[in-house]
C-alpha cells in the first residue's frame, strides 16, 4: 500500500507541484490550504507523514504543530519561507522532526521524507530496559516508571541510537548519520535541542542528567547505572 503524505500549505502552486512529484514517487498525497481543513483530514484518516507550512492563513504553524503533538507522533516536516535558526530551533523544540526552508529542491524534500519514514519503519525485536526506563523499538514507545515518555519520532530514534550503544561516546555527526541514515543538511544546535527534549521526559533531573551525559567537545553517551552491568 502506498504511504500517505498529508500537506498543509496555502501555496497551491507549490502543493500541486509536490503532489505531482510525490505521487510519481509512489506516495498517496492529500493537500489542504489551511489548518482547519488539514487538521480535519488528519483526524479523519491516518497519514504516514505530515508536511506542515509555518505560515498558514488561519493559524500559526507552531501552534498547529503543538496541537498535533498532544495526540499524535506522526513525523512532521516543517516548511517555511523564513530560514532563521531561531525558527528552526523552536520548531524542533515543539515537536517537528525535520525542517526545510523555502525554496528547496523536490529531490531534497523526497530524500528527507524517505529518511523520516525509514526511521519510523525501523524496529527491533527486543525491549531495552535500564532501571526505570523502558524503550520498545518495535512499538516505538518509551516509558519511565510505566508511564509514557512522549517524544517525537526523531527524538525516539535518537534515544534508541544512544541506548543501543551504552557507554559509547557518539558525536553529533555520528548521531545524525545513525538516525537519518544519510547525510542531509543539518545545523549545529539541532541534536542539542532534541537531546534536551529527551532529557526532559526521561531524566529525574534534566538539568543534572544521569542517563544521557554530555561529553564536552565530543558528543553524548548513554550511561548505565552500576547495577545494570557493563
Tell me the per-residue pLDDT of 171-211, one tens digit each, with 9 for 90 and over.
988 888 788 644 444 455 688 999 999 999 999 999 999 99
Model pTM greater than 0.75? no
pLDDT of residue 29: 96
- Given a cut of 70, whether residue 229 has pLDDT beyond it is no
Cα separation of 184 and 204, whole Å? 33
Q: Please give the residue that has the higher pLDDT: either 92 or 54.
A: 54
User: pLDDT tens for residues 146-182?
Assistant: 999 999 888 998 999 999 999 999 998 888 878 864 4
Q: Is residue 52 classed as helix, strand or coil in its secondary structure?
A: strand
- What is the C-alpha radius of gyration for the chain, rounded to an integer number of angstroms? 18
**Can you give the pLDDT at residue 20?**
95
Distance separating alpha carbons of residues 164 and 124, to the nearest angstrom:
10
Please give the average per-residue pLDDT across 19-38, as a whole number: 96
**So what's the pLDDT on residue 142?**
94
Confidence of residue 140 (pLDDT cuts 50, 70, 90): confident
On whether the CB atoms of residues 138 and 174 are closer than 8 A, the answer is no
Q: Output the pLDDT for position 27.
A: 95
pLDDT, tens digit, 9 for 90 and up, residues 54-89: 999 999 999 999 999 888 889 999 998 766 677 777
Q: Which domains does the chain have, with CATH numbers?
A: 4-121 (3.40.50.2300), 128-228 (1.10.10.10)
Supply the pLDDT for residue 8: 98
CA distance 19 to 16: 5
Q: Looking at per-residue confidence, does 140 or 211 come out higher? A: 211
Mean residue pLDDT across the chain: 87
Amino acid at each position: 500500500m502506498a504511504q500517505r503524505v498529508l500537506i498543509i500549505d496555502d501555496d497551491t502552486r507549490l502543493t500541486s507541484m509536490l503532489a505531482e512529484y510525490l505521487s510519481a514517487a509512489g506516495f498517496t498525497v492529500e493537500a489542504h490550504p489551511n489548518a482547519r481543513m488539514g487538521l480535519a483530514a488528519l483526524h479523519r484518516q491516518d497519514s504516514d507523514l505530515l508536511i506542515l507550512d509555518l505560515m498558514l492563513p488561519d493559524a500559526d504553524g507552531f501552534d498547529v504543530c503543538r496541537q498535533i503533538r498532544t495526540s499524535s507522533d506522526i513525523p512532521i516536516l516543517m516548511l517555511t519561507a523564513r530560514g532563521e535558526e531561531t525558527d528552526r530551533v523552536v520548531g524542533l523544540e515543539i515537536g517537528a522532526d525535520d525542517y526545510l526552508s523555502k525554496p528547496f529542491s523536490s529531490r531534497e524534500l523526497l530524500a528527507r521524507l524517505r529518511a523520516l519514514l525509514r526511521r519510523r519503519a525501523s524496529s527491533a525485536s527486543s525491549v531495552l530496559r535500564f532501571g526505570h526506563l523502558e524503550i520498545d523499538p518495535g512499538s516505538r514507545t518509551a516509558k519511565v516508571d510505566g508511564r509514557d515518555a512522549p517524544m517525537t519520532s526523531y527524538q525516539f530514534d535518537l534515544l534508541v541510537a544512544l541506548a543501543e550503544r551504552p557507554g559509547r561516546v557518539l558525536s553529533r555527526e555520528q548521531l545524525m548519520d545513525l538516525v537519518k541514515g544519510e547525510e542531509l543538511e543539518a545545523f549545529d544546535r539541532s541534536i542539542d535541542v532534541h537531546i534536551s527534549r529527551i532529557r526532559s521526559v526521561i531524566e529525574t533531573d534534566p538539568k543534572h542528567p544521569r542517563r544521557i551525559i554530555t561529553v564536552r567537545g565530543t558528543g553524548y553517551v548513554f550511561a548505565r547505572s552500576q547495577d545494570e552491568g557493563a
